[in-house]
Amino acid sequence: MTATTTTRVLRLLSLLQDRAYTGPELAQRLGITGRTLRQDIARLRDLGYPVHATRGPVGGYRLGHGATMPPLLLDDDEAIAVAVAVGLAEDGSTGIADIDQSVKRALAKLERILPKRLQRTVNALRETTAVGPATTGSREPDAPVPAETLATIAAAIRAARVLELDGNHVEPYRLVSWQRRWYLVGYDLDGHIWRAFPVADRRRVVPGTRRFAARTLPEHDLVAFVLREIASAGWKVHARVTVLAPAQIVLARINPAVGVVEPVDDSSCVLITGADAMETLAIYLSMLMMDFRIDGPPELVDHIRTLGRRYREAVAHL
């Protein structure tokens, strides 16, 4: 194929990857005749792309499933999204047998073909992001963040530039991805304190021009720092619970982000925990499988009483 033909066929493939088109629609989008379109469709089929055709007034062309895996065409945003997602899967480990090496190979292939301008964005996100531990059990709702916001924060971290987050001036140090949520570890210049900022809550993220010298981090493990911040202050609702079990047993049972455990004596401890909703918190406490007493707030007591009534009524007929 000539360079012009190759470019046109690649554009045709890009269109078909989005949705189905009628023949006239494709010919008009590509500026070619129907005969040339049919020739280009044949070229794609020869290359292994399963292009299906249907006749009739609503017929057209669409890309279907084939027997082999042909190459994909990705736009800039798609390429960045795939590279970052695959990179996070590699860093966090999928936990699926025999797949981690495949993830590494896929990432290596993608990195070899990414343009330098996209590679810079991907590298910034990967180098400035840490992945929190995998967890089991109930999970809070997802809090998606625009890729552009993450790229802006990552670039500011790499360049050591102050960020404005909804009016707060912050020295950014690390992005942490945990349970499909994103947090920024940064030094709040207004409050003079280290914080874990939930990125999804930010409506305005503006990179500044002022650079900063790196401070001593609040601790070496910034993922652990974020998890403790979430446990103590990062949720919308919080509770204080006395668990009738030794602190070491409770600590072995929960994820660090679930709560802060304070020993009371050899047989009890205090769990300071939270969630995005009081209902979630009530259900979570029942999953501890340990005896406990609610110290507060009163709203949680009401939810626990409601759950207790439902559980009793569920087995009353047995």
3-63: in CATH 1.10.10.10: yes
Output the CA–CA distances (angstroms, integers) from residue 206 to 151, 154, 168, 231, in the order listed. 11, 12, 10, 28
Domain with CATH 1.10.10.10 in the chain: 3-63
Assess contact for 128 and 157: CB atoms under 8 A. Answer: yes
Q: Which amino acid is present at 231?
A: A
Both tokens assigned to 21: 């088109």
| 239 three-state secondary structure | strand
Assess contact for 279 and 310: CB atoms under 8 A. Answer: no
pLDDT in tens, 250-302: 988 887 667 788 899 999 999 988 888 899 889 889 888 999 999 989 999 99
pTM beyond 0.85: the answer is no
Q: 31 — alpha (psi -120 to 50), left (phi > 0) or beta?
A: left
pLDDT in tens, 83-132: 666 666 655 544 545 556 666 776 776 776 677 777 788 778 878 888 87
Domain with CATH 3.30.70 in the chain: 235-315
Both tokens assigned to 70: 């042909």
The highest-level CATH class for domain 235-315 is alpha beta
Q: Which amino acid is present at 97?
A: A
